[in-house]
Structures are given as structure tokens and as C-alpha cells.
Amino acid sequence: MELIEKIILALPSIIIAGIVAYIAYQQYEINRQKLKLDLYDRRFKIYSAAIALVRFAYEPFPDQRYKDITEKIDNEFTDHLSAAYFLLNREAFNTLEQISQEVRDLASAMESRLSTVEKLNQLQGANTEECEDLNNDRRKWNSKIESIRQSLSKTHRINSIFLPYLDFRSLYYNHNRTKK
């Protein structure tokens, strides 16, 4: 009889301990999922910034706006690139760095082409040999700009490096798989 009384007295404590353990486990699961979603959100911001940078650089606009490209990198993309160092693997980070450099090269080529065209306009038929050299330089810059833009148009590079990080289904699948 005494044993039954002790068990009955201890039963609420055991039930409360079980409920507390269950709540703690649920909080652990919620925090784990929140961390995954926070990482997903931060990585998606980097992805969006990379796509926006490439689209901005690929837009046709006059060479006089080459500074806009440089400002976009400096003001908007550099912070995302710094975060990518810690949030993505080295291959993804290196690809983003390469894209950033290509966009900087594009701005530099546009600046050089603008300078060449301005010199050409100043000569306006004066020295034909120098004009021919400047025209060759302009064609070279046109070719370089087109080459860089073609490289930047391959957004599948960005998509492929972000796929492991941004496949939302894998977050859900991993969560359900750990539950079973």
C-alpha cells in the first residue's frame, strides 16, 4: 500500500518531467528549422544580389554610365560577397568573385571605349593613321565588352552554385526524414 502511495505521489512529477522534455525537444526542432530558414534567407539575398548585378551589367546603356556599374558593385554587392565567404562553399564564393571581377572588367572596358571614342571625336578626320588606330582600339573594346556580356549572360552558373543551398524542398525533405 505504501508503495502504491509513493508511486501515485511521484506520478505527477514523472508526467511533468515528460511534458517538459517533450516541449524542450519541440523547441529544439523549431530552433533548428528556424536556423535553416534564416540561412536560406541570407543565401537567397546573396543569390538575388548576384542575379541583379548580372542583369544590371547586361543591360544596354551608354558607356557614360560605367560608373553606375562600379557603384552597384561597391554599394550593393560587396557586402553580399563578404557574407558569401561564410555562408557558401569555396567554389560558390570563387564563382561569385569571378562574376564580380567580370562586371568590374566590363565597367573598365566601357570606360576605355568611351575614352577612345572621345579621342576619335576630337580628331574628327585630322590624322587618318591615328584615327585608324583609335578605330581599331574601339573595335577591340567592342569585342571585349561583348565577350564579357556573353559570359555574364550565362546565369546558369549562378543557379548551379546556389542550387544546393536554395532548394526549398530539401529543407522540408530533410526535416521530414529526421522525424521518421
User: 3-state DSSP call for residue 45?
Assistant: helix
Q: DSSP class of residue 9?
A: H
Q: What is the mean pLDDT of residues 87-106?
A: 92
Please check the confidence at residue 179 and state whether its pLDDT lies above 60. Answer: no
The residue count for the chain: 180
- If pLDDT is split at 50, 70 and 90, which confidence band does 123 have? confident
Written as nine digits, the cell of 27 is 523547441
CA 42 – CA 49 distance, rounded (Å): 11
Domain boundaries, the chain: 2-179
pLDDT band at 26 (very low <50, low <70, confident <90, very high): very high
Q: What are phi and psi of 172, to 5 degrees?
A: -70, -45
Q: Residue 180's pLDDT is what?
A: 43
Q: Is 125 left (phi over 0), alpha (psi -120 to 50) or beta?
A: left
Q: How far is Cα of residue 65 from the mean position of the Cα atoms in its chain? A: 23
pLDDT band at 153, cuts 50/70/90? Answer: confident
Cell of 16: 511533468
Query: What's the CA dihedral at 148, 153, 156, 159 to 10 degrees?
Result: 90
Q: In this predicted model, what pLDDT tens digit does every residue of 48-74 receive, in sequence order? A: 999 988 888 877 777 777 788 888 888
Helices (H) and strands (E) in the chain, counts: 7, 0
Compute the distance between CA of residue 145 and CA of residue 150 in angstroms, rounded to an integer. Answer: 9
